[in-house]
Chain A
């Protein structure tokens, strides 16, 4: 059913992603699919890395660890953006195309006050509206 599962990650908050990672791993095993972890980063230093190269290395390491743990083939794609705050969703959509993923598994916050006030939008909801592939929003 699925060959390539894309999992967007925020490396700063992997501890909040355990359920998402579990779902992705289970689906990958069931369909004998591979997982590609995608993270969008800016060029200024962050808590994860001080250069984009370092960031890509951290993401590679994360992907390998997850692959070893789940026993499925994994890959990593660090997307560089001049403005990650504004371009995240567009970059993820582009990553779906470039990685040829046929399923996106991503974490999503339950709708709350912030959504009602339109303070933040849901990245997964946006992706559902804009991509043709399946999207699994994990809560």
Chain B
């Protein structure tokens, strides 16, 4: 063996040593009654969940005003931090696509993807963003166009500029930025688990920065925070979603929806989620995601064709133009005077996306083994953004056309934002069928969110294991339903508002967590790149 190859061997050994940890996955776990739970993450999370729910029921008004004040304070004081962080995540992802580290394959050079491209894309939408697109696809552009609650950059409502501004601003909120936030978390989790052999929990992404300290209190805090943000985010969304779906059903079948309808909806969603959980990823969430993608495609094509294809093309060009024209001014935190739009829409969304990033990111990580960093980021950033432009042009653009032409209820402005989608569909043919399709889509998206959320929480609370008894996932899915139902029946909207504000408020600490994650991920990828080069030499 000559000297250079000895040097190379030494370099490889030295590099490999960096990620050698004494920690054994599952060593902190407690196995009782056949269950397998991380101590203290499982117990602290469960305890805090009960505490927060009880507190928000006992003192709904104090909890609401306290947590909403926190949220508002974050939105106003840290507006520039959140907005700038969002830009950093997009630029970071774009840089990784073009840099040589983009060649690194998640799971090692020989890994092959576990899911087909189609199922994979379907699952990207299933976890977090699908429901939002259903509800806000029509309502958000309409809101900006009519100045329902602020307009982007103070564009005058109903003006010529208001249309591209409305579509562009909505795309800004649902395009590259949210997906970049999810992509950072997903890539970091996938990389450190599949390439570096660390457990699939949030704390593992900080190994390059903190070393073995991640197994201690710092790691516990990050993991517990992720669990709380996920479960309260999901439970409150389910609660509000049940209200919206009940309102939609009431609108369609002309009955007054009440608490009973809402509770039935929660029970149905939770029941379906339990079946889906028990069937596993392939028989559950993958299957439902594929069904949902198909249904969404049918609805999308219907709206494009029934609404007139030529106006869709015009709207599509307007959406793209609006997005490219407004993405930079809207990303700029300096000298903003459009306070309502900036704080109540953009910064709210950013805090929301960031607080959901542990959940959505971890689910994406779970299903993304076998793809290269470049493929992964291109697919997670670009493809969903393009799909969303089509969706926005069809639904948002269609809604704006109805407003301009004075057709239907939308022309009178937005009343209940939950009904906007149905009011738009009402003016197209076959509205009874398409509205039912819309409600089904929303409900199935809730089922897939609940299922994937339980999967993620279970993985975090069992120390990164994926073979813990499925009962634990049943527990977390049930908890979401129970929390939503209890909050709705005993505390009403005030209690839901309170906990949702709490969940969104975790967006601030997570912003810093995510920024640190970018640094950590860059270090990890650089290390992997050096190792690959040393191995090839």
Counting contact residues on chain A (CB < 8 A from B), the size range is 20 to 34
Would A44 and B280 count as touching, CB distance under 8 A? no
Given contacts A45-B464, A119-B35, A120-B34, contact A86 B25 (CB under 8 A): no
For the residues of A in contact with B, the DSSP-based class is loop
Please tell me if A67 contacts chain B, counting CB pairs below 8 Å: no
- Among B194-234, those with CB < 8 Å from A are 194, 196-200
Complex CA gap A81/B282 in Å reads: 9
Name the A residues within 8 Å of B279 (CB-CB).
Answer: 86
Name the A residues within 8 Å of B468 (CB-CB).
Answer: 85
Name the B residues within 8 Å of A1 (CB-CB).
Answer: none
Which of A42, A50, A53, A112 sits near B467, CB closer than 8 Å? A42
Complex CA gap A45/B369 in Å reads: 12
Smallest CB separation, A65 vs chain B (Å): 21
Would A46 and B467 count as touching, CB distance under 8 A? yes
Given contacts A83-B282, A114-B34, A120-B35, contact A45 B197 (CB under 8 A): yes
Would B280 and A47 count as touching, CB distance under 8 A? no
Annotate B439-468 by CB proximity to A: 1 below 8 A, 0 otherwise. Answer: 000000000000000000011000011111
Which of B25, B280, B366, B367 sits near A45, CB closer than 8 Å? B25
Complex CA gap A43/B34 in Å reads: 22
Annotate B137-148 by CB proximity to A: 1 below 8 A, 0 otherwise. Answer: 000000000000
Smallest CB separation, A41 vs chain B (Å): 8
Given contacts A44-B193, A45-B193, A45-B200, contact A82 B114 (CB under 8 A): yes
Would B281 and A109 count as touching, CB distance under 8 A? no
Name the B residues within 8 Å of A68 (CB-CB).
Answer: none
Please tell me if A87 contacts chain B, counting CB pairs below 8 Å: yes
Complex CA gap A10/B456 in Å reads: 23
Would B280 and A50 count as touching, CB distance under 8 A? no
Would A46 and B465 count as touching, CB distance under 8 A? yes
Which of A51, A81, A113, A117 sits near B107, CB closer than 8 Å? A51
Please tell me if B416 contacts chain A, counting CB pairs below 8 Å: no
Question: Could you pull out 8 A-B pairs where Cβ atoms are within 8 angstroms?
Answer: A43-B369, A44-B193, A51-B197, A53-B110, A85-B280, A112-B33, A114-B35, A120-B33
Inter-chain pairs besides A45-B193, A90-B280, 11 sampled, C-beta below 8 Å: A12-B26, A43-B114, A44-B200, A44-B466, A47-B26, A82-B115, A85-B468, A85-B473, A86-B284, A87-B280, A114-B33
